[in-house]
Chains A and B, each alone.
Chain A
Amino acid sequence: LQVVMQLFLTVCWLLPYSLATCGLFSRRLSSASGPGPKVCIVGGGPAGFYTAQHLLKARDDMVVDVYERLPVPFGLVRFGVAPDHPEVKNVINTFTQTAQHERCYFYGNVNVGTDVSVEELRKAYHAVVLSYGAEANRSMRVSGEGLAGVFSARDFVGWYNGLPSNKELQPHLNCETVVILGQGNVALDVARILLSPLDLLKKTDITQHALDTLAASRVRRVLIVGRRGPLQIACTIKEVREMINLPDTAADMLPADFESISEALKDLPRPRKRLTELMMKTVKTESGQHKANKSWGFRFLRSPLEVLPGPDGKRVAGIRLAVNKLEGSGEDAKAVPTGQTEDLECGMVISSIGYKSLPIDPCVPFDPRSAIVPNNMGRVKDTAGLYCSGWVKRGPTGVIATTMNDSFDTARMLLKDMDSGMLNLSVNKPGGQEITALLKERGVRAVSFPEWEKINLEEVRRGTAVGKPREKFLDVKDMLAVAWS
C-alpha cells in the first residue's frame, strides 16, 4: 500500500512539471517577484552552470538567473574543448537540464560590465556569482610577438571552434614547421588539430573555414617547447597517448632529455610516473624511425627570447630560445637560464602559455598579479553578497571536473551565508524583472534558453547536411537572426 501511495504522490508531483515543460505554463518565474532568494550568475560556462545546479538543488525556493555575454551558452565547452573530443561535451546535457529548470532563467547576449553593471545586479539580487572565466591570454613579452604567423593558442582555438571574435584570424598553414610554446593540454589540442588526418576532423564540429585551411596545410612538423623538463610537463597522459597514436605521425623526441630521469621515476606519484614512463617508452620505440610523413616532439628547458623575422621583416621565420637548467626538483623545480641560446626555424609560432582573466567592472576587486578576483573560498574580498567560481576564482587551470568541484564549493559557501543570515533574505529583491526592464531601456534584447535551442537546432541541421554533428554560426548577427526568427 505504501508503495502505491508513493507512486500516486509521485505522479501528482510530476504532472505540473511535465505540463510546464510542454510550454503550457509560463516558465518566467525569475521575472515574477516571489519572496524566495534570488541569485544572479555572470557567465554561462561550466562554472556558472555547476554553481546554478548546486544552488537550485539545495533550496526549493531559490531562483537563479544566468547572464551570458554571447547568444550561445556553455563557454569553453563550446569554444575551447577540441572538436575531436565530443565525449567531453556531454556535460552540456546536464547544463541544459539546469537551464530548463523551473527556477532557472538564461539571459544570453547580455554583456555584464557594458549592458548592465555588477552594481545594478547586486541591487536587484540577494547575491551575485562571478563565473565569467578567463577571456584573455598570457603574453610571452618578447620582441617579434607581433609578427605575421605568431598567434596565441587562445585565438587559434577560438578560430577552429567558431568563437565569433576569432573568425577573421586566417592563419596561413603554408609552412613546414610550427613551434608551440607551452606544454599544457591546450598546446596538445592545437598540435593534434594541426596533425590530424582531415578525414577524422571532417566528422567533428570543427568550423568549415578551419577545415578548408587545414585541407591546404603544408605543416608536417610540430615542436612543443617547454621551459622546464619532462618531469614538469603540464599536459596529461590521455592527451600524450593521443599524440602518440596519430596516424602517419612519428614522435620525434631527444633521447638525451630522458637519460637522467630514470632514477627519479620510482619515487613519483602514480600519475606523473605513468606519464613519464609513456614518454620514455615512446623515445625508445620511435627514435630513429622516420617513415611517417609528419612528426611531433617535445623540446625541454627552453624559454622564448625573441621571435625572429624573415627577410621581409614581417613574417616569422624562427624563434630564439634561452637554454635553461632546473633549480630544485619535482613539481616546483624552477627554470633558470644558462646564458646559452638556441634558434629554431619555423614558419609559425603559437604561444600556449595560459589563459588570463580580465577585470569586469571597476567596482569589483581584481588582483592584477594573479589575474583573478581575490576571494576567500569563493566569497569576493571586501564585497558582501558577491561570490566567484571557476577560472576567474582559481586561475585558468583545471579540467571541467575541477571547475565543477570549485563551483560546488562556492555554492556551499553562499548557502551557508544565507543560512547564517550573513546574506539578508528578509528584503524582497526584484531579480530578473528589474534587470530586464533596464536592458529594455538600453535597447539590449536577451536571448532566452528556448531561443538558444532554436540556434542549436539550426546548427545541427546545417551540420547533418555535411556529415558533421553541427556547423556553428560564426557571427553573432546570424545567431540572433535565428534566435528571434
Chain B
Amino acid sequence: GVSKPCVHSLSTLLDTPTLSVHLVDVKSETTAHLLLHSLCWSSSSCKVLLHFVNQSGMKTSVSAMEGESLLEVVINKNLQIDGFGACEGTLACSTCHLIFEDGVYEKMEPMADEEMDMLDLAYGLTKLSRLGCQVTVERWMDGMTVRVPQEVKDRREKPEAEI
C-alpha cells in the first residue's frame, strides 16, 4: 500500500538544538522517489534522492538539490557524521571523504590533482573514494548510495601490561 514517508528528527548537532530534518524512511524509498519526482515539476532545480551510510553503518536517505555539493548536503540536512568537512570545503583536509558505488564513480567528473592530493591523506582510501566537497549533485545520481568510511573496528584495546 502507499505508506506515508516517516518523519525522523535527528539528535542535536553540537550546539544547534534539534532542527528537525524530514528524512524519508528507508522502507518507503520507492514512495519517496515518486514524491520527489513530482517535486521536479514545480521547482526550477530538481531534487535528487541520495542515500548516506554513516560511520556506524546506519543508512539515511535525503533529497538533495541538483548543484549542491555532497558536503553541503551533509551540512544542510544535518546528517550526523562526526567531524565531516573540517576545513569547510576549501580542499585543506580530507574529512569529507566518501566512498561511491562501482558504476557511479566512473560516471562522475574526473578528479583534479588538488582533490587527489588531499584524498591521499584520507583514512581508509579506496579506489572509489572522493571528497564530498568536490562532488556536485547531478540528476543522474538519483538513488545512489554513498558511504562514509567505517570506523576501524579492529583497533582493539591493548592490555595494560603492554604499554
Residues of A that sit less than 8 Å from B by CB: 2-3, 6-7, 9-10, 13-14, 17, 50, 53-54, 56-57, 60, 85, 87-88, 90-91, 93-94, 97-98, 100-102, 236-238, 241, 270-271, 274-275, 374-377, 381-382, 399-401, 404-405, 408-409
Contacts and interface: CB of A to CB of B under 8 A. Distances in A.
Given A87-B88, A401-B121, 16 more contacts: A2-B7, A3-B7, A9-B20, A13-B18, A53-B14, A56-B15, A237-B120, A241-B117, A375-B163, A376-B159, A381-B160, A401-B86, A401-B94, A401-B95, A401-B123, A409-B155
A127 to B, nearest CB: 17
Contact of B120 (A98, A274, A401, A404): A274
B90 interface: yes
B157 A404 contact: no
Contact of A93 (B19, B22, B88, B93): B88
A87 B83 contact: no
Contacts of A381: 160, 163
A7 B90 CA distance: 33
B118 interface: yes
Contacts of B163: 374-376, 381
A376 B158 contact: yes
Contacts of B88: 87, 90, 93
B82 interface: yes
A408 B88 CA distance: 19
B144 interface: no
Contacts of A374: 163
Contact of B92 (A85, A270, A382): A85
B71 interface: no
A400 B158 contact: no
A57 B87 contact: no
B121 A10 contact: no
Contact of A399 (B13, B113, B121, B158): B121
B86 A10 contact: no
A57 B14 CA distance: 5
Contact of B83 (A238, A271, A404): A404
B17 interface: yes
A408 B95 CA distance: 13
A204 to B, nearest CB: 14
A271 B118 CA distance: 9
B114 interface: yes
Task: Give 5 closest A-B pairs by Cβ, nearest first.
Answer: A87-B90, A271-B120, A87-B92, A238-B117, A90-B88
Given A50-B83, A376-B160, A6 B7 contact: yes
A370 to B, nearest CB: 10
6 contacts: A2-B7, A50-B83, A88-B92, A91-B87, A93-B88, A401-B121
Contacts of A102: 15
Contacts of A91: 86-87
Given A93-B88, A274-B120, A408-B82, A401 B14 contact: no
B91 A6 contact: no
B12 interface: yes
B125 A6 contact: no
B116 interface: yes
A87 B12 CA distance: 27
B150 interface: no
Contact of B121 (A17, A271, A376): A271
B97 to A, nearest CB: 9
A236 B83 contact: no
Nearest to B160: A376
B83 A405 contact: yes
B51 to A, nearest CB: 22
B9 interface: yes
B17 A94 contact: no
Contact of B125 (A270, A400, A405): A270
A87 B155 CA distance: 31
Nearest to B21: A6
A401 B83 contact: yes
Nearest to A411: B82
Given A10-B17, A97-B14, A401-B83, A238 B123 contact: no
Which residue among A17, A98, A271, A382 has the maximum number of chain B CB atoms within 10 Å of its CB?
Answer: A271
Interface string B71-112: 000000000001100111011111100000000000000000
Nearest to B4: A2
A6 B6 CA distance: 13
Contacts of B91: 87
A375 B158 CA distance: 10
Contacts of A408: 82-83
A6 B9 contact: yes
B159 to A, nearest CB: 8
Contacts of B9: 6
B11 to A, nearest CB: 8
Contacts of A56: 14-15
A14 B9 CA distance: 15
B19 A400 contact: no
Nearest to A407: B83
A60 B7 CA distance: 23
A13 B123 contact: no
A270 B122 CA distance: 12
Given A238-B118, A270-B125, A404-B95, A88 B87 contact: yes
A377 B157 contact: yes
A238 B112 CA distance: 12
B92 A90 contact: yes
A404 B114 CA distance: 22
A53 B80 CA distance: 13
A285 to B, nearest CB: 16
Contacts of A17: 15, 17
B72 to A, nearest CB: 15
